[in-house]
Amino acid sequence: MKNDRIQQLKQLITEAKEFVIIPHENPDGDAMGSTLALFEFLQNKGKSVNLITPNDYPGFLKNLPHSEETINFEKSEEKAKKLIQNAEVIFTLDFNQLSRTKQIQQSLEQSTADFVMIDHHQEPTDYAKITFSETTASSTCELLYSIIDDLGESKNLTPEMAKCLYLGIMTDTGSFKFASTTSATHRTVAHLIDAGARPEEIHQQIFDNNSLNKLKIQAKALKNLEVIEEARTAFTFLSDEEMNSLQTEKGDTEGIVNMGLSIKGIRFAAFFKERKQEGLVKISLRSKGEFDVNKVARKYFEGGGHKNAAGGKSEKNLEETLDDFRNKVIAHYKNQLQ
């Protein structure tokens, strides 16, 4: 029962003093919005709180409140490990498998802290003492708001917390256009606006703050765009050389996968990003309607996520990965495995 978990959480927050908050690797708007909002929530209760990211995150998220207080595990590994070792409670937000934290995973597995998972992805693992897993939630930020409300604390939301939560919901719903957006999502957003979130300011920060390089990268991705008409699929890609020549920075490829979905009649879109140094190709998948990209990601690309948004990887080179994708998409369509 959720009420039992809320009471357990309330007791943990009351009794513990040392807290650590962890998002997934390459944290996005939902991951950073939820962790930063929780950071302030716990700080306001007089707790010692540290937010540790596995690696860096996009610059357009660094204007969020408290972002300057985050600890990058890659840059401060020994400090981060010590904080994890000393933590009494560790919150993990916007992921449900410790492997999503990459280099932090071993430290988390060795921790004796009580874990609290707050997440909206499918098929959670059972590492946490308290698990809030709601796959129907539009975002982890929406789920976190509902937990804060159940704790009787929504009246204490600050404008800074409201901004973080609004940004996470906005980015994870594609500005409220994805099927995961519900009436509950809009009610939550209304409360956040009442608490001080400013939609026009947040939208400008995310969507009207592009570098010239980012626009050139998007233009290159558009040039690479291909359509498989019989499978109602569009995909694009960026090679390692293309990204290096355009001096790509973290966050510059955000949203490219959605370009294909804007084409009339397309229901499935993919974006392939080559990472030669890592020996793999990273894959983002998006869909409309009943086409389940989570199944595609899990079956073919060692990944997963949501019904309409998922990710995966390939250890083949880019050319082989693209050929493999074309063949799998056509076979998937013919077999109607969606």
Residue 179 token pair: 């099927």
Domain boundary among the residues 168, 192, 207 is at: 207
Indicate the range of 183-192, 265-274, 282-291, 301-310 predicted with least confidence.
301-310
Q: What confidence score (pLDDT) does residue 36 get?
A: 98
Q: What does the pLDDT average to over 287-291?
A: 89
- Please state, rounded to an integer, the average pLDDT across all residues of the chain: 93
State residue 235's pLDDT score: 97
258 and 289 assigned to the same domain: yes
Asked if 137 and 252 sit in the same domain, the reply is no
Q: For residues 310-317, give the mean pLDDT.
A: 93
Among 207, 227, 261, identify where a domain stops: 207
Q: What does the pLDDT look like over 142-155, one tens digit per residue?
A: 999 999 999 999 99
Q: Residue 125: its pLDDT value, please?
A: 94
CATH of the domain at 317: 3.10.310.30
Q: What is the pLDDT of residues 27-72, one digit of tens each?
A: 999 999 999 999 999 999 999 999 999 999 988 899 999 999 999 9
Residue 283 has pLDDT above 90, yes or no: yes
Mean pLDDT, residues 203-228 taken together: 91
Q: What is the pLDDT of residue 122?
A: 85
Q: Structural domain tally of the chain? A: 2
More confident residue, 1 or 6: 6
Residue 184 pLDDT > 90, yes or no? yes
User: In whole angstroms, what separates CA 113 from the centre of its chain?
Assistant: 24
pLDDT the model gives residue 329: 87
Question: Phi, psi (5° rounding) for residue 177?
Answer: -110, -10
Residue 4, classed as helix, strand or coil, is helix
Q: Do both 193 and 300 map to the same domain?
A: no
Instruction: Assign 289 a pLDDT band (cuts: 50, 70, 90).
Output: confident
Q: Provide the residue range defining the domain that includes 112.
A: 2-207
To which H or E segment does residue 12 belong?
helix 2-15
Judgement on whether residues 6 and 146 belong to the same structural domain of the protein: yes
Residues 6+ apart with CB under 8 A from 33: 64, 141, 164, 165, 166, 167, 168, 169, 171
CATH number of the domain that residue 170 is part of: 3.90.1640.10
Q: Are residues 229 and 191 in the same domain?
A: no
Per residue in 100-132, pLDDT (tens digit) is: 999 999 999 999 999 999 999 988 999 999 999
Query: What pLDDT is stored for residue 336 in this prediction?
Result: 56
Model pTM score: 0.85
Shared-domain flag, residues 47 and 173: yes
pLDDT at 337 over 70: no
Instruction: Tell me the two tokens of residue 73.
Output: 């595990």
Beta bridge partners of 48: 18
Residues 169 and 294 grouped into a single domain? no
pLDDT at 301 over 50: yes
50 contacts 20 by C-beta, under 8 angstroms:
yes
- Does the structure show a pLDDT above 90 at 335? no
Q: Percent of the chain beyond pLDDT 70?
A: 98
Residues 181 and 218 reside in one and the same domain: no
pLDDT at 338: 42
Indicate the pLDDT class of residue 207, thresholds 50, 70 and 90.
confident
Q: Which of 159, 178, 207 is the last residue in one of the domains? A: 207
The verdict on 316 and 293 lying in the same domain is: yes
- What pLDDT does residue 210 have? 82
d(CA 283, CA 296): 11
Between CA 77 and CA 52 the distance in angstroms is 10
Residue 304 confidence (pLDDT): 85
- Looking at the fold, whether 201 and 246 belong to one and the same domain comes out as no
- Local structure of residue 309 (DSSP, 8 states): E
Per-residue pLDDT band at 1 (split at 50, 70, 90): low
Same domain, 44 and 187: yes
Are 265 and 185 within one domain? no
